[in-house]
Amino acid sequence: MTWLSNLVPKPNASPSPLLNTQVEQKPEQEVVSQKRTKCEDMMEGSESLTDILFSWSLQDILNENLYQHKVEKVPESFQSVQDHFGSYSYPLLDDTRTQLRSSMETMDRAPYSKVISVEELNPYGTKLYDIKVDCWRNLSTDCSKGPYKILPGDVFVLADTRPETVSDLQKLGSSWAFLVVTEVSKNKNEEDRTALHFKVKASKEFEVNHSIHTSLFMVFLLNIAPYIRIWKAMHMSGSATWKVVFSDNFLKSFKELKSFQLKMSVLSLLLRISSGWRPRRQNVEIVCRSSSMILRKFKVEGLYILSTTDIVKNSRYVQVLKIWDILPDLQGIEKLVDRLDSIFKRYTDGFINLCRERCLEGDVEVPASWPPSLDVPRYKDVSITEIPNDFVDYSSGNTSYVERCEVRDSLLLMKFYSLSSSGVMNVLLSDHEGRELDLPFEVTDQEMETILYNRSTFIQGRSGTGKTTVLTMKLYQKEQKHRRAAEEGFYGVGSNTFRHVSPNNEAEQISSSSSTNVTALRQLFVTVSPKLCFSVKQHISRLKSFACGGSPSGQCSLIDMDDFDDEEAQFRGIPDSFLNIPPKCYPLCLTFRKFLMMLDGSLGNSYFERFLDITELPHNRLQSSRSVLLQNFLSTKEVNYERFRSSYWPRFNIQLTKKLDASRVFTEIISQIKGGLGAMEACDGKLSRQDYAQMSEGKASDLDKEKRDKIYDIFEIYEKMKRRNGEFDIADFVNDIHRRFKREKYEGDEIDFVYIDEVQDLAMSQIALFKYICSNVEEGFVFSGDTAQTIARGIHFRFQDIRHLFYNKFVLDSRRKKHKEQRDNEKISEIFHLTENFRSHDGILKLLQSIVELLYHFFPHSIDKLKPETIPVYGEAPTLIYSGENENVFETIFGNTVFVTGNTIGFGAEQVILVRDASARKEISNSIRKQALVLTIMDCKGLEFQDVLLYNFFGSSPLKNQWRVMYDFMKEQDSLNSALPERFPTFDDAKHSTLCYELKQLYVAVSRTRQRLWIYENVEELSNPMFDYWKKKCLVQVRQLDDSFALSMQVASSPQEWKARGIKLYQDHNYKMARMCFEKAGDTFWKRLSEAAELKAKAHHMRTSNPEMANTMLRRAAFIFEAIGQSVSAARCFYNLGEYKRADWKKSSRKNMISLRRSDAFGRGDISFRIALLTPD
């Protein structure tokens, strides 16, 4: 008896449009074409994966090319998470088909059973049936990991004979069907046996004929439950209800998952819980033992995902889901729960209650939210309650610590990323490391408040508080809003304005100088540091790639690292003026030097033409970036502090320089006499002697009239000497640009938003230049900095001054231009203070605060007063290291260095020895050879290390015994005791003026530390005052240096860590230390590249003093560049040597390496041509 006589189609039932078992009458190509079209229609209708599986014929399942035209490379750009998931639909279908075919080839060994009853379920016509079987056979086979148990999602073949091969199914023709288990009935008596009663969905609709007693068999193929979950997640409609953020630890664990299917299962679970779905099982929730916080653990494919509910502030306070990690076992979950519990017990009851609050809309859990006026603190204030025994507390204050661990392992400092961010899915499913791709991470409530503030802003924060992060994210969010506005058609055709949607959703018009439609938001980021500029440029480029869906596009491609030593390469593609900048160049990330060059190029008659002799020009010259050639010129003609100190200061009358410091005098000249607020009002850009002397009467002055007269005498002599030498300083250049702007009309691009980082490194007249390029005064400016880090020579800066400058030179000037009346109640933004530190632990922060307190006391007008930084992570106090008499500290530390795999451990890539200047760096480097990185304090600004050894800071200080003034401060604080000196100097503004700079240098050095700080001095007498001050405040610990302690200081690093550190140092032009890193990493290419770059840099510095040696070094550099395939860099060197044929410019692949053969070479636009001839690259 045939199967059809037992299970016959219903008379009135229409067959499924996707069933295609009769294919013999149509050509195969036509059938496949129809199949694809129907499948596409089904997917567009969000049909189930089961329906698509049921639509496959046996021929389809065996067809390896069924989805060949669809299973292609996943696109690189997506509009949404759902769009991204949708791109994996066809690969998932093909994987399902492949697994189904594979299981059909082993049906002879698969579990099977005999059907004893079949009942159709209501509603009829849905192909749902209740089935009972007699027993299961082949339960223990090699096709399963253990005895078979029937589960929802199991796929079976149903036939009236037991098929063992694919050919058996082919013989049966259409007389077989697929069954998918939808529900398994529970039977208490079955215990460990697999179920015999269950519900299924069939691929065909049929009616049951009970009068015929023919056997039916079910043969197990595979379980598609994971595929179904993934498919549902891929085709979820609408946006997520919850915001889901995942941690760095989750990202690392997720990247280690080997199976693509497993990754998709995890992501599908995250999308399901983001939609508000919650499992009904009771064992999902974990209630913490010490706190009442609730955690949830979700199981997926044998893994456990741990999540909590948190509260974040945006326009309102709202619940979010935090995913902490994905772990393979419950033991790991328990350890993580314990760590989190120790944090949550520091939470207030009110905050925990908000996290536990649940809101339901039907069966869906939705996040609760509260108005921004909500005032529920996260952490308990233990200063007004009894401190529990498990709280860590310093005796020097009432600060409590939430977490005790190394900074790098901190759960509180760990970054989190939003699952819904554009491009995040690409990163999760790619082979790249998340750290390399610089994912956009979540910011704190304090940072978010600053980012969302929609008016011009002043941001202050000490080192490590996230100032640059705030600026970058502020810029990025405006880019995002602008892009969305463009996509939604917010731009009027033919209009010269664009709608800026501010955070409060008010659309505002911002004018543009362009006569065409605005196609890009014109944003400008400026900082003094080339290293920071490069880093931010890379970060913004990556963020833009995520905004585009995760794919780096041409407009946001990164700079070639091998060209970073060349400033022309860093700013390749950026014009030399602000005239008609291509939209693809925005947002602009510039150094302040590059900004000055572009301003100079935007106006007529360059400042530098006065220094050039046109008669010396030959007929041909390499066409290079104008600003780069000007930069080369600056190095030969500009008077910076080093040149002022070495070439000018010794030539001044000793009666004038007596009791004055070269650094202070240079600062007064650049920042006050020629660059201060008063100088900007003078017609010649310089304060008169009388006006400068009157500054001594101000409250902020620490110089009396007599000293100011001497400084002004030195200034006048300096100006004469400078003119005679044909030299200039940056104040001359800046003042000339101001004069030209007063005479000429600016025709360059109107910038919409300007972000100035490390603003403390700029003088007032330099900051004022930004008003010429941006008229969006009300909301277009962000100034960020920290006066505790003002160690740039020639700069005297206070935020009070910049706010005064902004009001008078930006706001009022803008109103006068627009003929608007001044409003009496008009105010500018208050200063935003960032107080949460993300770099270090509290032991380091307390030492930093002690340095700031000294600045507050001795130099109150040199630093802005801020609230102390906070960090909830405990760490050990910095260590003062003492050694025996005549003992060499480095011999003790590195003399007994152990060997690991043939290499000495020494210090690792995340450890550094900091010294005061280049001479000390050279001495120490020669002493320890290549066992540690050695940097100066200026070298390390902008860098951070796990461990820092600060060497001989006080012993090499120009203050010498003047550090004893610390005892005067301690006396005022009533901190002296009988063991401390009784006689010491009192503070004198003039005598101790250098102390301000020294304290700021010390602050920068200490703030480079993330974990361990060691301080060693070889002259105790000079360091005792500061050491006694720190000991009295219980901020340091004291250790005797011995072999055991020396070994504990050393940490080995992997080749990857050494290479990463080397690249950072290479970016900072510290080629010698970079070369050492690459040598330890075993990277020959980067080592040779660093060697060549170092030779080229040395040649550049000695080209005037020793041109013969400079040429020798440049030639060696050229040969190395050539040997490692850096032909462009080699060509530049050969050209500068005058070896034009070898340079072979015409064959160069770079556009900027062509010969300059233009008839207008001597015109205004080619000032770079003339400068280049006087200053080889």
Question: DSSP states of 1042-1106 as a string?
Answer: -HHHHHHH-----HHHHHHHHHHHHHTT-HHHHHHHHHHHT-HHHHHHHHHHHHHHHHHHTTTT-
| Between 145 and 1018, the higher pLDDT residue | 1018
467: annotated binding-site residue? yes
CA distance linking residue 467 with residue 963, whole number of Å: 32
465: annotated binding-site residue? yes
Q: Per residue in 279-303, pLDDT tens?
A: 877 678 888 888 889 999 999 988 9
468: annotated binding-site residue? yes
Q: Which two tokens stand for residue 787?
A: 């006066």
pLDDT above 90: residue 419? no
As a whole number, mean pLDDT of residues 1121-1148 equals: 79
Tell me which residue has tokens 């299924």: 200
pLDDT above 70: residue 187? no
**Entry field: residues in the chain:** 1177
pLDDT above 60: residue 239? no
CA distance linking residue 677 with residue 872, whole number of Å: 41
Range from 226-240, 405-419, 543-557, 1051-1065 carrying the lowest mean pLDDT = 543-557
CA distance linking residue 708 with residue 714, whole number of Å: 10
Q: Per residue in 72-110, pLDDT tens?
A: 555 555 555 556 566 677 888 888 999 999 999 999 999
908: annotated binding-site residue? no
Dihedral pair phi/psi, residue 705, rounded to 5°: -65, -40
Q: Per residue in 775-829, pLDDT tens?
A: 999 999 999 988 777 655 545 667 778 888 898 889 888 887 776 665 555 567 7
Nearest to 893 by CA among 883, 878, 885: 883
pLDDT above 60: residue 549? no
| Between 1115 and 230, the higher pLDDT residue | 1115
Count CA atoms within 13 Å of residue 19 on its CB side.
13
CA distance linking residue 609 with residue 613, whole number of Å: 8
> Within the chain, how many helices (H) and strands (E) appear?
44, 39
| Between 765 and 47, the higher pLDDT residue | 765
Task: Identify whether the C-beta of residue 553 lies closer than 8 Å to the C-beta of residue 545.
Answer: yes
Alpha-carbon separation of residue 1167 from 437, 446, 736 (angstroms): 40, 47, 17
Q: Spell out the residues 6+ positions from residue 311 whose beta carbon is closer than 8 angstroms to its own.
A: 317, 318, 319, 320, 351, 354, 355, 378
pLDDT for 696 equals 84
CA distance linking residue 724 with residue 745, whole number of Å: 32
615: annotated binding-site residue? no
Q: Per residue in 452-496, pLDDT tens?
A: 898 999 999 888 888 999 999 999 989 888 887 776 654 343 333
Tell me which residue has tokens 């691929």: 203
pLDDT for 1075 equals 95
CA distance linking residue 592 with residue 733, whole number of Å: 12
Q: Spell out the residues 6+ positions from residue 318 whose beta carbon is closer than 8 angstroms to its own.
A: 243, 311, 312, 367, 368, 369, 370
Provide the H-helix boundaries in 164-237: 166-172, 225-234
pLDDT for 617 equals 36
Strands 879-882 and 507-511 turn out to be unpaired
pLDDT-derived band of residue 626, with 50, 70 and 90 as boundaries? low
| Integer Rg of the chain from CA | 36
Q: Which two tokens stand for residue 261?
A: 């299917």
Count CA atoms within 13 Å of residue 555 on its CB side.
14
Rounded percentage of the chain residues whose pLDDT exceeds 90: 40
Helix, strand, or coil here: 871?
coil
CA dihedral 519, 521, 526, 531 (to 10 degrees): -70
Helix, strand, or coil here: 293?
coil
pLDDT above 60: residue 434? no
Partners of residue 497 on adjacent β-strands: 511
pLDDT-derived band of residue 689, with 50, 70 and 90 as boundaries? very high
Alpha-carbon separation of residue 149 from 112, 135, 153 (angstroms): 11, 12, 12
Query: How distant is the alpha carbon of residue 1054 from its chain centre?
Result: 22
| Between 336 and 988, the higher pLDDT residue | 336
CA distance linking residue 1004 with residue 789, whole number of Å: 6
The number of beta carbons lying within 10 Å of the beta carbon of residue 112 is 22
Alpha-carbon separation of residue 1091 from 251, 384, 1001, 1098 (angstroms): 37, 59, 30, 11
289: annotated binding-site residue? no
Query: How distant is the alpha carbon of residue 852 from its chain centre?
Result: 28
Average pLDDT of the chain is 79
461: annotated binding-site residue? yes
pLDDT for 437 equals 52
Helix, strand, or coil here: 1173?
helix
Partners of residue 785 on adjacent β-strands: 460
Q: Per residue in 340-384, pLDDT tens?
A: 999 999 999 999 999 999 999 888 899 999 998 888 899 887 543
pLDDT for 827 equals 67
Nearest to 1075 by CA among 1100, 1092, 1057: 1092
pLDDT-derived band of residue 618, with 50, 70 and 90 as boundaries? very low
Alpha-carbon separation of residue 88 from 33, 254, 1013 (angstroms): 20, 18, 50
CA distance linking residue 81 with residue 420, whole number of Å: 6
| Between 479 and 192, the higher pLDDT residue | 479
Handedness of CA 986, 989, 994, 1000 (dihedral sign): positive
Handedness of CA 960, 964, 966, 968 (dihedral sign): negative
906: annotated binding-site residue? no
Angle subtended at Cα 973 by Cα 972 and Cα 978, rounded to the nearest 5 degrees:
85
Range from 620-629, 668-677, 722-731 carrying the lowest mean pLDDT = 620-629
Task: Identify whether the C-beta of residue 1113 lies closer than 8 Å to the C-beta of residue 1099.
Answer: yes
CA distance linking residue 642 with residue 1030, whole number of Å: 33
